[in-house]
């Protein structure tokens, strides 16, 4: 079952999908209507999945629309960077988070439309759906889950799937 025209809902129980609930963790600071840069909160609202990134040296391409994370792939998280909130090549000029890391944390990433395509500086540079570093460990704002659940979810979501996050 694909999740075309289906919403996913983040609740205190987990990420509610049409046929299961996935245990997840989210921002250390909870859920916020007005997250700020480096605040470690997950943004409330109706978000859309707009991309998928994967490590081709570790995973088969999960979907036709997935983009590879290359050796020099980074995520711009510096508000001074003209490429703020985009996947870019690593450089020393701006603060950029390396995506190709030794741990499996960023082997597969679902991107949302939070603060995109025209990023507002100070509002937070990224909101990913990713693998957790340890079970139920809070994140810096992203939604995290087990590798098995993330691989399952990536096979089911489509470009444009909605992720609804409410403050409860």
User: Which run of H or of E encompasses 38?
Assistant: none
**In the chain, % of residues over pLDDT 90:** 52
Q: pLDDT tens across 93-137, in order?
A: 887 889 999 999 999 999 999 887 777 777 776 678 999 988 889
pLDDT of residue 3: 60
Q: pLDDT tens across 109-121, in order?
A: 999 998 877 777 7
The reported pTM is 0.90
Q: Write down how long the chain is.
A: 168
Return all residues near 143 (Cβ < 8 A) that are at least 6 apart.
Answer: 10, 15, 24, 25, 26, 42, 127, 128, 129, 130, 163
């Amino acid at each position: 079952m694909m999740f075309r025209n289906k919403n996913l809902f983040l609740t205190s129980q987990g990420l509610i999908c049409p046929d299961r609930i996935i245990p997840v963790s989210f921002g250390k600071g909870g859920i916020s209507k007005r997250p700020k840069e480096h605040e470690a909160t997950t943004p409330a609202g109706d978000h859309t999945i707009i991309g998928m990134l994967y490590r081709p040296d570790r995973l088969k391409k999960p979907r036709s629309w997935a983009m590879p994370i290359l050796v020099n792939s980074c995520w711009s998280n510096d508000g001074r960077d003209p490429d703020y909130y985009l996947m870019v090549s690593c450089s020393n000029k701006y603060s950029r988070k390396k995506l190709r890391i030794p741990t499996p944390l960023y082997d597969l990433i679902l991107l949302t439309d939070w603060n995109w395509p025209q990023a507002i500086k100070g509002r937070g540079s990224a909101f990913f759906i990713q693998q957790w570093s340890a079970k139920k460990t809070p994140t810096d704002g992203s939604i995290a889950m087990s590798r098995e659940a993330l691989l399952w979810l990536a096979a089911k979501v489509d470009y444009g799937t909605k992720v609804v996050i409410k403050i409860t």
